[in-house]
Structure 1
Amino acid sequence: MKRRNTPSKKAVLDLLVTAGKAMSRDAIEQKIDVDIDRATIYRVLNRFCEDGLAHKIVAEDGKQYFAVCMKCDEHSFTDNHFHFRCTNCQTIECLPEAVHFPVPNGYNVESVNCVLTGICRDCSI
């Protein structure tokens, strides 16, 4: 189904692309330059995920972050897709390489939601 391109959608997508990292709904709400309420932001973000334009990351504290990953294949967001959250600068980013892990026989993985936590490259300098 083709969706309408609204000023709200364009503003959220432009912000995610420009940020180059995952952003929470509240961070988007603080930085966006159009009048948009939080319910609309969530609706737009969830549609981006449904349409494969973005993906959702759930951090260990349960907070949701959304990212447009330029390094990822268009439809491989769940294939061995790990993220890293820096405990110093709070940035969440897609790891640039696939992470492989063994799964016991009889288990079939349908999706992966893994956030590794520590100090990022920029903060460890």
Structure 2
Amino acid sequence: MKRRNTRSKEAVLELLVKAGKAMSRDAIEEKIDVPIDRATIYRILNRFCEDGVVHKIVAEDGKQYFAVCMKCDEHRFTDNHFHFRCVNCQTVECLPEAVHFSVPNGYHVENVNCILTGLCKHCSVK
């Protein structure tokens, strides 16, 4: 279904693309330069997820982050991959390389939603 393009949608997507990392709804609301309310931001983000434009990352504390995947073609989320949340700078990002894992015999993985937590490469060298 073709969705109507609005200035609010363009602003949210532009902000996510420029950020180059996952952002929470409150971070988007804080940085966006157009008047837009909380409910509209959530509605836009959820539609972007439905349309495969961004993907949602749920941290271990339940907080939701949204990202345009750096590995996805034309901003289309196409693969399952791991994310990393830094406990120091609070950055959430798609890991640039594959993380390999195994499951017990008899199990078949269809979807991966995993976030690793620790110190990012920038904070760990400080």
Q: With structure 1 as the length reference, what TM-score do the two structures score?
A: 0.92
Larger CA deviation: 97-106 vs 35-44: 97-106
User: Unaligned regions of 5+ residues in structure 1, if any?
Assistant: none
Q: What do you get for the CA RMSD once the two structures are aligned? A: 1.2
What residue in structure 1 maps to residue 9 of structure 2?
Answer: 9
Indicate whether 1:85 and 2:99 are aligned. no
Indicate whether 1:72 and 2:86 are aligned. no
User: Unaligned regions of 5+ residues in structure 2, if any?
Assistant: none
- Correspondences of 1:7-46 after superposition (within 5 Å): 7-46=7-46
Superposition deviation, residue 108 in structure 1: 2.5
Superposition deviation, residue 75 in structure 1: 3.8
Which secondary structure state, in structure 1, belongs to the residue aligned with residue 121 of structure 2?
coil
What residue in structure 1 maps to residue 102 of structure 2?
Answer: 102
User: What is the letter of the counterpart of residue 2 of structure 2?
Assistant: K
| Percent of residue pairs identical | 80
Describe the superposition over 1:19-73 as per-residue Cα deviations: whole angstroms up to 9, x where unpaired: 0100000000000011111111011001111111100000000000000012234
Q: How many residues align?
A: 123
